[in-house]
């Protein structure tokens, strides 16, 4: 389960950032996870409490926003929604689509005190 390692990275980033800013506690972590990223948000949420135990992020909440897939079709020149990696353009049906969103995973905001 690679989500455990990803969650460890999220917690480490939140804790290091909070300490660097002089905070004593992490209250919430906001993350953006693309729908095409192959990351299961439920697994991240499940792992978060275990990984943050014993840190200044213990008791914090992880809030995840899903980012929809999108791409730019090189054939018809349109920005289109993507439901799968390497999927066909829903406008022209061709497979020359450059993914522009949906595979990201980033910590957007950390709320501390």
Domain with residue 97: its CATH number is 3.30.2320.80
CB 22 within 8 A of CB 110: no
Share of the chain above pLDDT 70, in %: 99
Range of the domain at 90: 2-112
**According to the model, what pLDDT value does residue 78 have?**
95
- Residue 108: Cβ within 10 Å count: 11
Q: Model confidence over 17-36: pLDDT tens digits?
A: 999 999 999 999 999 999 99
Adjacent-strand bridge partners of 73? 97
- Rounded Cα–Cα distance for residues 84 and 100 (Å): 12
Q: Which of 107, 104, 85 is nearest to 95 (CA)?
A: 85
Instruction: Report whether pLDDT(1) > 70.
Output: no
In the chain, how many domains are there?
Answer: 1
Q: Model confidence over 24-78: pLDDT tens digits?
A: 999 999 999 999 999 999 999 999 999 999 999 999 999 999 999 999 999 999 9
């Amino acid at each position: 389960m690679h989500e455990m390692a990803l969650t460890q990275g999220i917690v480490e980033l939140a804790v290091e950032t909070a300490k660097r800013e002089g905070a004593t506690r992490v209250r919430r972590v906001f993350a953006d996870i693309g729908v095409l990223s192959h990351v299961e948000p439920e697994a991240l949420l499940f792992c978060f409490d275990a990984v943050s135990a014993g840190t200044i992020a213990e008791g914090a909440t992880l809030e995840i926003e899903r980012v929809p897939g999108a791409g730019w079709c090189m054939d018809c020149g349109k920005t289109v929604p993507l439901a799968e990696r390497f999927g066909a353009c829903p406008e022209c049906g061709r497979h020359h689509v450059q993914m522009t969103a949906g595979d990201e995973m980033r910590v957007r905001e950390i709320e501390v005190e």
